[in-house]
Amino acid sequence: MEFSIKSVSPVLARTGCLVLGVHTGGELTRATRLADRAARGALHEALAQGDLSGKAGSTLLLRRVPGLAAERVLLVGLGERKDFAEPAYRDAMRGAANALKEIGAKDATLYLAEEKVAHRSAAWGVRHAVLAVSDAFYRFDQLKTQKKPPAPALGAVTLAVSAGPVTQQAQGALKEAVATAEGAALARTLGNLPSNICTPSYLAEEAKKLARHYKLKLEVLGRRDMVKLGMGALLSVTKGSHQPPKLIVLRYAGAAKSKKPVVLVGKGITFDTGGISLKSAGEMDEMKFDMSGAASVLGAMRALAGMKASVNVIALVPTCENMPGGGASKPGDVVTTLSGQTVEILNTDAEGRLILCDALTYAERFEPEVVIDVATLTGACVVALGHVATGLFANDQRLADEIREAGDDAWDRVWQMPLWDDYQEQLRSNFADMANIGGRPAGSVTAACFLSRFTKKLRWAHLDIAGTAWKSGREKGSTARPVPLLVRFVLRHAHVK
Ligand code: BES
Ligand code: MN
Ligand code: ZN
């Protein structure tokens, strides 16, 4: 999909589909009014028939409207004028995109991005337009031999501004959003791929492709390197698997060497059976998504490198399978982590924190500005926050605030959870420095508390995406969250905006 921004009149735009906004009660936007006048009231007439509710995201397709150069007109409901804020804008964009999938237009010109959204800039409008349309057009059918339905015809989308020159900010926002959408698509595809294809080695190969294409520095550590370093926690998780583990280190340097990097750590369990503490069979297939943290940091890297952002970022991906087997770790086993601290593995299904703790210790060597880990870490986080907010934990409140604001900006929202010392005692062990589980109460908090014991030297935040990284049921599939949040955070943090 090609995106562009143009200053063009809705009357003269030669396009497969002219997309125009209408508020509830038939109130037309500026562009819609202009088009209606040229069409001698044809749009107004169609609306008067009551065929468009005006609810945000509702649509009505008209063909052969006289007086307009466009082949079709798609009227899109924007909801009440006074309620025109973020949710209505997103719904309208999504509604328009879904309608565009169903028609034969090869290109479309959208006049929705020129509508002022309360408290949001024009750049924000452009970013969300691109992301909403890209999201709606994402397909994952590479494993189907018969592609049904056939791919939509739409190849180009123009975001129209009908007055004044196209600003540099709008062009910048477009470039950022197109790259973010590409990063999100990569994350989604990696998430959707099954574990027999998307193995730790496959993720390493994907990192190699990114490195080659965007000229990034790549290092991939294997089992022998991990043994030499003393990553006893990461190694304990991979023991039952026939797939070799990897630690991927991918670096993008877009700013001066003197600028300390942001390090993004992504949990890369390509399949989580639970190990000897075996999971039950129901929905176990969804544990192929347990590498969504890894996918999101690789997606964010692709986005930032693709837009040539002037930032320094390092992606760190510990990746392996969690399998039962004759060689697997067993409940009660004690391992020594890279930090030197010992852990009693009371439950082999609490494996994410075991691979992350060694990666977080490894992150210290990059002298990072901040470290953010992203992980499908706990079912308890899904119980706490459902599928709406990602769980946020941080040992630095300013960092937490920045992440929350970036999430609001990107409509990829987080909710902060406590990381108080009071919870730490739940991790007590009789046999090692700590246990890897803290019992049922506050399961997502004790998981974060476990990680906090390995990040004392870092400005660090943890995102638990167990409820937000994928959808279940009929719509089963990766969401690419939190790619938009990560990209926005890194840019805002570096004041690139
Ligand atoms: N990958 C899972 C977390 C998960 C479960 C995410 C379900 C999304 C949906 C993680 O490795 C895990 O198994 N966590 C355990 C921890 C428990 C043993 C302390 C959990 O949440 O049950
Ligand atoms: Mn698990
Ligand atoms: Zn897991």
CA 56 – CA 22 distance, rounded (Å): 9
pLDDT of residue 25: 86
Does residue 379 line the site of ligand 1, with CB under 6 A? yes
Q: Measure 395 CA to ligand 1 centroid, in angstroms.
A: 22
Does residue 20 line the site of ligand 1, with CB under 6 A? no
Does residue 378 line the site of ligand 1, with CB under 6 A? yes
Contact 290, 267 (CB under 8 A): yes
Contact 253, 246 (CB under 8 A): no
Q: Measure 324 CA to ligand 3 centroid, in angstroms.
A: 13
- What pLDDT, in 10s, does the model give residues 384-411? 999 999 999 999 999 999 999 999 999 9
What is the CA 121 to chain-centroid distance, rounded? Answer: 22
Q: Which residues are catalytic?
A: 279, 353
Distance linking the first and last C-alpha atoms of the chain: 24
Nearest atom, ligand 1, residue 376 CA:
6
Mean pLDDT for the chain overall: 97
pLDDT of residue 209: 98
Does residue 358 line the site of ligand 1, with CB under 6 A? no
Instruction: Report residue 116's pLDDT band, with 50, 70 and 90 as the boundaries.
Output: confident
Average pLDDT over residues 134-159: 94
| Residues in the 5 Å CB sphere of ion ligand 2 | 272, 349, 351
Average pLDDT over residues 133-139: 97
CA 392 – CA 389 distance, rounded (Å): 9
- What pLDDT, in 10s, does the model give residues 174-215? 999 999 999 999 999 999 999 999 999 999 999 999 999 999
For the CA atoms of 102, 105, 109, 113, what is the dihedral angle to 10 degrees? Answer: 10
Q: Give the dihedral sign, CA 37/41/46/49.
A: positive
Q: Measure 323 CA to ligand 2 centroid, in angstroms.
A: 10
- What pLDDT, in 10s, does the model give residues 234-286? 999 999 999 999 999 999 999 999 999 999 999 999 999 999 999 999 999 99
Nearest-Å Rg of the Cα atoms of the chain is: 24
Q: Measure 355 CA to ligand 1 centroid, in angstroms.
A: 14
Nearest atom, ligand 1, residue 347 CA:
18
Helix, strand, coil percentages (3-state) for the chain, rounded to 5, are 40, 20, 40
CA 216 – CA 218 distance, rounded (Å): 6
3-class secondary-structure state, position 273: coil
Nearest protein Cα to ligand 1, atom 7? 379
DSSP-derived secondary structure letter, 28? B
Judge if the upstream peptide bond of residue 149 is cis by omega within 30 degrees of 0: yes
Average pLDDT over residues 13-22: 97
- What pLDDT, in 10s, does the model give residues 406-450? 999 999 999 999 999 999 999 999 999 999 999 999 999 999 999
Strand intervals (E) in 260-362: 262-266, 268-272, 312-322, 333-336, 342-345
Q: Give the dihedral sign, CA 319/388/424/418.
A: positive
DSSP-derived secondary structure letter, 166? P
Q: Which of 422, 288, 445 is nearest to 353 (CA)?
A: 445
Does residue 352 line the site of ligand 1, with CB under 6 A? yes
Share above pLDDT 90 across residues of the chain, in percent, rounded to a whole number = 93
Nearest protein Cα to ligand 1, atom 16? 350
| pTM for this entry | 0.97
Share above pLDDT 70 across residues of the chain, in percent, rounded to a whole number = 100
pLDDT of residue 161: 84
Contact 388, 263 (CB under 8 A): no
- 316 is written with which tokens? 């760190």
Ligand number with the minimum distance to the CA of 447? 1
DSSP state letters, 185-233: HHHHHHHHS-TTTS-HHHHHHHHHHHHHHHT-EEEEE-HHHHHHHT-HH
Q: For strands 370-375 and 460-464, give the pairing.
A: parallel
Question: How far from 330 is each of 111, 276, 317, 319, 350, CA to CA, in Å?
Answer: 60, 6, 24, 20, 12
Does residue 443 line the site of ligand 1, with CB under 6 A? yes
- What pLDDT, in 10s, does the model give residues 31-55? 999 999 999 999 999 999 998 988 9
Residue 497 scores a pLDDT above 70: no
3-class secondary-structure state, position 92: helix
- 366 is written with which tokens? 């990059």
pLDDT of residue 115: 79
CA 485 – CA 411 distance, rounded (Å): 8
